[in-house]
Amino acid sequence: MATTDLSVYNRTTIPNAKSFRFGIVVSEWNPEITQNLHQGAIDTLLDCGAMQENIISWEVPGSFELVYGCKKMIQTQQLDAIIAIGNVIQGETKHFDFVCEGVTQGIVDLNIKYDVPVIFCVLTDNTKQQSLDRSGGKHGNKGVECAVAAIKMAALKNSDRPSDSIGF
């Protein structure tokens, strides 16, 4: 569980996002959580220089469908990074485990197969309150943290020398 504020970042240490195109694929399941993550990601991308017209958002029914949505976005859009946003809350069955493992492995596979970084912004919490706390509540917003990661990975993708683009 997060012990720091997920929304804290220093804009001076992040590459300017003005020239990058971002995709966001958002699960419709648990919308009070995923929409907060989505808004946090968009607000951060814009704050770091991204142009509104260079942010494409698609919805998919649930977290398991994020992998296909991201793959389709990679295949049909010219993007520098994608953020996959979802939420899975532990229940009484093994469904939680299957969904979490499938989505995690699917995003890993996309990162290996394609030259577009896909950022994992899927909250996998024990309770709804934990998810609320991490999607704009007392622990900040994981969408903000993932947007910063997307910017840094877009800079890495577009650089011949990673040290030139992300401040090493």
Query: Residue 2 pLDDT > 70, yes or no?
Result: no
Please count the other Cβ atoms lying within 10 Å of the Cβ belonging to residue 6.
22
Please count the other Cβ atoms lying within 10 Å of the Cβ belonging to residue 123.
23
Catalytic residue among 18, 95, 113, 138: 95
- The stretch 118-142 carries a mean pLDDT of 97
Q: Distance between CA atoms of 23 and 21, rounded to whole angstroms?
A: 7
Q: Distance between CA atoms of 89 and 31, rounded to whole angstroms?
A: 13
- Taking the alpha carbons of 7, 12, 18, 22 in that order, is the dihedral positive or negative? negative
Is the distance from CB of 147 to CB of 140 less than 8 angstroms? no
- pLDDT value of residue 161: 57
- Mean pLDDT (the chain) is 93
Is the distance from CB of 28 to CB of 130 less than 8 angstroms? no
Read off the pLDDT of residues 62-88 as tens digits, 9 standing for 90 and up.
Answer: 999 999 999 999 999 999 999 999 999
pLDDT band at 6 (very low <50, low <70, confident <90, very high): confident
Provide the whole-model pTM.
0.93
Instruction: Using alpha carbons, select from 31, 80, 33, 36 the residue that is nearest to residue 60.
Output: 31
Is 139 marked active-site?
no
Per the DSSP assignment, residues forming a β-bridge with 23 are: 56, 82
- pLDDT value of residue 9: 93
Query: Residue 168 pLDDT > 60, yes or no?
Result: no
Q: Distance between CA atoms of 58 and 4, rounded to whole angstroms?
A: 29
DSSP run (H or E) holding 26:
strand 22-27
Read off the pLDDT of residues 39-54 as tens digits, 9 standing for 90 and up.
Answer: 999 999 999 999 999 9
Q: Distance between CA atoms of 168 and 165, rounded to whole angstroms?
A: 8
What domains sit in the chain, N to C, each tagged with a CATH number?
19-166 (3.40.50.960)
Residue 16 CB contacts under 8 Å (≥ 6 apart), including other chains: 48, 49
- pLDDT value of residue 160: 75
- pLDDT value of residue 1: 46
